[in-house]
Amino acid sequence: MFGRRADGRVLRNIDPIVGLTSYLMPMRCDAQVFLNHRLDYEIMARYIAEQGNKGHRLTFMELFIAAYVRAVSQLPEINRFISNKRLYARTQLTVSFTLLKETGDPDAIEENTAKCFFDPHDTIYDVAERVRTAIEQNRREEADNSSIRLARLLLNPLLANIVVALARLLDRYGILPKYVLDASPCHTSMYITNMASIGMPSLNHHIYNFGTTSQFISLGFVTRETTVGPDGKAVRKRWLPIGITADERICAGAMYARFLDRLTYYVHHPELLETPPENVQFEEGNAYSLAKSKEK
């Protein structure tokens, strides 16, 4: 309340235009912008294969998340969120995603959510371990995290309306309990979905009005095209398309452009992610809470 939240610190020294946008666009659905981008699949696949030969099992999603974590470590403005028309610097670096549970029935589809806490000093190996652990814990048939257990309790429409309305009110004024914030997949730096895992193209997913998610990114299945190589001959090229939906209110458009450039650079130079960054940037003396992120 009054600018204090368990998951963020209110920012005061901000660009006036950035500060005004939350009053002009009070909801995330007002302020979401969409971008379709693509990454060089050949570079990513080659690196993952090389790491596999060294005994490190990596996935495309883990590589992408590692690049995201590294980009945020250098551009902390991306890890902001809007709540009650105020701009906050997030005190955690988190990524949420939905996964399919192993039910034992090939015709049954049952989902679960996972939320990973990261240290901005993480290497790609740290990120992969955290993601893998979260998937293993939440994919089992008997696995029900706090989000799923709460959803089961709210199958009654009357109870659901009351609880959700109360949660929205508490969240609006920054007094939602920390354990609820830590459990909620909608209170996260980024939400990612791997559409390629179910044979679907990338999409521009909406970002939720509930919670604090500022970016929603989807990975699609690989596309192929014929292009002209350096020698002037036709070559076949493979791309990994991504769909990005972002809350434009959290920072200037030029900062988003810098972030996308940095993110792409790290994906295309993944060897840089094998060691921790030399420096980690924070906003206005803010530092991420690493209590959760240190749990391996």
Q: Are 283 and 76 in contact (CB under 8 A)?
A: yes
Joined tokens for residue 174: 């920054």
CA-CA-CA-CA torsion sign (155, 161, 162, 168): positive
pLDDT at residue 294, rounded to an integer: 44
Write out the chain's pLDDT in tens, 296 residues.
556 788 999 998 888 888 899 999 999 999 999 999 999 999 999 999 999 999 999 999 999 999 999 999 999 999 999 999 999 999 999 999 988 776 666 666 777 889 999 999 999 999 999 999 998 887 765 555 566 666 666 677 787 888 888 989 999 989 999 988 988 999 999 999 999 888 899 999 999 999 999 999 999 999 999 888 788 888 889 999 999 999 999 999 999 999 999 999 999 999 999 999 999 999 887 888 763 444 43
CATH number of the domain residue 26 falls in: 3.30.559.10
Question: In the structure encoding, which two tokens stand for residue 49, read together?
Answer: 């294969």
Q: Is residue 210 part of a domain?
A: yes
C-beta atoms surrounding 262 within 10 Å: 19
pLDDT of residue 295: 41
Question: What would the two tokens of residue 42 be?
Answer: 């050949």
Domain that holds residue 37: 8-139+178-274
In this predicted structure, what is the pLDDT of residue 270?
98
| Under 8 Å between Cβ of 252 and 230 | no
> End-to-end CA distance of the chain, in Å?
32
In this structure, the strands spanning 93-100 and 86-90 are unpaired
- pLDDT number for residue 155: 72
CA distance 246 to 216: 6
Q: Could you tell me the CA-to-CA distances from 205 to 243, 265, 278 in Å, in that order?
A: 8, 24, 34
Which residue's structure tokens are 């940095």? Answer: 262
User: Residue 226: inside a domain, yes or no?
Assistant: yes
| CA–CA dist 208, 186 (Å, integer) | 7
Residue among 277, 273, 215, 213 at smallest CA distance from 246: 215
In a domain, 67, yes or no: yes
Q: Is residue 148 part of a domain?
A: no
Please report the pLDDT score of residue 159 as a whole number: 78
Q: Is residue 66 part of a domain?
A: yes
Is residue 157 situated within a structural domain?
no
Cα→Cα distances 74→252, 255, 282, Å: 16, 11, 8
Cα separation of 281 and 269, whole Å?
20
Query: How many CB atoms are located within 10 Å of the residue 212 CB?
Result: 25
Residue 152 lies in a domain: no
Total tally of structural domains belonging to the chain: 1
Q: Show Cβ contacts of residue 121 under 8 Å, excluding neighbours closer than 6 positions.
A: 73, 276, 277, 280
Q: Which residue bears the tokens 């970016």? A: 215
In a domain, 164, yes or no: no
